[in-house]
Chain A
Amino acid sequence: MIKISNLSKSFQKNLIVDDVSIQIEKGEVLALIGSSGAGKSTFLRSINCLEKADCGQLDLDGFHVNFTNITKSQKLELRKQTAMVFQHFNLFQHRTALDNVKEGLKIVKKMSDKTATEIALKHLEDVGLSDRVNYYPKHLSGGQQQRVGIARALAMEPKLLLVDEPTSALDPELVGGVLSTIKATAAKGQTMILVSHEMSFVYEVADRVIFMDGGRIVEQGTPDEVFNNPKSPRTEQFLQSYKNR
């Protein structure tokens, strides 16, 4: 079980994430929804220290950190236990798809080139890119790049996968491939926190949905509870704006 408690983060004097606590069971898919600026991405990025949280604690299968005074080695360990999929893919531009996936295996996990290649090829196959392994990111479509990004994250076998608006930077016709890849990942029992604006996808894939507003958790429950019977008027208002689009 993964537990994050009382996490807060502010930029200058703006409180972006306000005392958020969550729990995730193993294999659970937790989706964060909410309007832009609600603090979803910042919360996600604070979990693996891409943003330094002001305070908060994390418990990951007995590995405990306090964000206020996290040490360098704890930070590295935390990042080894988690992996991230980015909105803008963030692939290494000077490396091929295969080398992008191998990078963490070789440099962080110190695997031999042979083992790393085997694992990377398997993960690229899983995301349907066996025929693109030697392509550089700039020769791949956005959707393909994001699938490489997913393969790169999964190859690290993270205990917790952090997925940050994976389709927000994609053309509409490329969204489907990425979403089905995430769905397949979820079906394999990968624990993940997903930030997404694709409401129908969230409804379909998430085990639990959290609606955030103004840096706080407003409401949480199963997709059915949150989407069909929202308790808070703010959640209702937010969902209504999606239905009206």
Chain B
Amino acid sequence: MSVKLFDIDIVISSIPKLLQYLPKSLYITFVSMIAGLFLGLIFAIVRMKKIPVLSQIIAVAISFIRGTPMIVQLYLTYNGIPLLLKYINLQYGTEYNINDVPAMLFVLITFSFNEAAYNSETIRAALMSVNKGQIEAAESLGMTYFQVLKRVIVPEALVVAIPPLGNALISLLKGTSLAFVAGVIEMTAQGKIISSSTFRFFEVYLALAIIYWVLTIIIEQILKLLEKKFSISDVHTDVQKRKWTSLFNRDREVDR
């Protein structure tokens, strides 16, 4: 019996096997994105407010993260955190066991900081793009800084930030395929495992590629919807009235 050059059945049958690890890929993506957004916002504010020392440290960290490959960063945390633990153990006589640290933690730390570095620049640019006049108008009404931030700056900045943050989310999803170097089995690692046991490398990786592609298309569509929701169309229509602000005013009563 001759071996087929390309077997579409293997592509199809690989998909469910790979999808078993989809939750792990998505878990890494969303946890890192949320942590990255939160840290990124803090980084951005620290840099905008030019807080001494902290601002410089963050500038160097961002430069380092942006200037080194992700895979190298993973190797660094994977090997660096055990070193740090050993040092702490020696220094303070503690007995932390490096084997108790889940591999996932290395991955999440690396990805979160990586996202934070890139997002902070996006967030900083978006916050700075907010029209100063609108901020002054809000201040002149007697709003506190926090109210101005919540009611004017963040909503306005979001419109600007959504497309680049969406890009970051997509690259992050694909970036999770590097997690295997820290010993976390997600979809790509699973692909490696299946293919090396069946020797059907092309079919399995094709199945993997299709899954990533479909996921990306889904994210793109969601982003498009969000963008549409958050922007105001060029002509006035009655339907669109106030849908924007409804996201922020939970205490609203019925429209007039």
Contact = CB atoms under 8 A, between A and B. Distances in A.
A230 B188 CA distance: 84
A93 B134 CA distance: 8
A109 B155 CA distance: 21
Interface in A127-144: 133-136, 138-139
A115 B45 CA distance: 36
A108 B140 contact: no
Given A92-B152, A94-B156, A134 B242 contact: yes
Interface in B131-175: 131, 133-134, 136-144, 147, 151-152, 155-156, 159
B232 A136 contact: yes
Interface stretch (B50-58, B88-96, B199-207, B233-241): B233-241
Interface stretch (B8-16, B59-67, B114-122, B245-253): B245-253
Nearest to B241: A134
A99 interface: yes
B33 to A, nearest CB: 24
Given A90-B134, A94-B244, A134-B241, A79 B232 contact: no
Contacts of A136: 232, 236
Contact of A139 (B133, B142, B236, B252): B236
Contacts of B143: 104, 107-108
B49 interface: no
B142 A79 contact: yes
A10 interface: no
Highest count of chain B CB atoms <10 Å: which of A50, A90, A152: A90
B256 interface: yes
A84 interface: yes
Given A134-B241, A136-B236, A138-B232, A80 B152 contact: no
A91 B139 contact: no
A113 B141 contact: no
A138 B242 CA distance: 14
Contacts of A93: 131, 134, 156, 232
Nearest to A81: B142
Contact of A96 (B131, B152, B242): B242
Given A94-B155, A94-B159, A94-B245, A103 B144 contact: no
A79 B136 contact: no
Interface string B66-77: 000000000000
Nearest to B152: A92
Interface in A34-68: 48, 50
A117 interface: yes
A107 B140 contact: no
Interface residues of B, number: 32
A96 B241 contact: yes
A189 B140 CA distance: 21
Highest count of chain A CB atoms <10 Å: which of B139, B141, B251, B252: B141
A19 to B, nearest CB: 24
Contacts of B136: 50, 84, 86, 90
Given A103-B151, A107-B143, A138-B232, A92 B137 contact: yes
Contacts of B232: 93-94, 136, 138
A239 interface: no
Contacts of A91: 134, 137
A117 B139 CA distance: 21
A91 B131 CA distance: 10
Contact of A50 (B134, B140, B144, B151): B140
A114 B253 contact: yes
A76 interface: yes
B172 to A, nearest CB: 28
A167 B131 CA distance: 20
Nearest to A112: B253
Interface string B177-210: 0000000000000000000000000000000000
Nearest to A140: B236
A183 interface: no
A193 interface: no
Contacts of A151: none
Contact of B137 (A90, A108, A121): A90
A83 interface: yes
5 contacts: A80-B142, A83-B140, A92-B134, A94-B156, A156-B141
Given A92-B151, A95-B244, A121-B256, 11 more contacts: A76-B142, A84-B136, A86-B133, A88-B133, A92-B138, A94-B232, A107-B141, A113-B249, A136-B232, A136-B236, A152-B141
